[in-house]
Amino acid sequence: MISFFNYMNVSISLFLVSILGIFLNQRNILIMLMSLEMMFLSVSFNLIFLSIHLDDIVGQIFSLLILTVAASESSIGLAILVIYYRIRNTIAVELTNLMKG
């Protein structure tokens, strides 16, 4: 049972670290995308572990799906980033305040 908590701890703390990485980070949008990737990884790690633990294949199918989704998502995100850089000449997050409420 100890291994169960260890696995869970690893995936949850990875998730929390990536959340902190998203919103403690003031500057770099690349780091935000990386944190997002890390969040996907921790979720899919959790799914794989639980599919092993519960002896159910569905978790692994989901983690495969998440991998593809994450890949496509990060490619689109990077594409947006490139376009953004081409227009603004910077990728600092703190300057993206043109749309105020």
Phi/psi for 28 (5° steps) reads -100, 125
Among 25, 51, 60, 74, contact with another protein (rule: CB under 8 A): 25
The CB-based long-range contact list for 61-65 (8 Å cut-off, 24+ gap) reads: none
Q: Is the Cβ of residue 25 or residue 74 nearer to another protein in the bound state?
A: 25
| Number of residues in contact with another protein under rule CB under 8 A | 15
Which DSSP symbol is given to 28? B
Among 1, 2, 3, 23, contact with another protein (rule: CB under 8 A): 23
Phi/psi for 48 (5° steps) reads -65, -45
Q: Which residues bind another protein (CB under 8 A)?
A: 19, 22-23, 25-26, 29, 32, 93-94, 96-101
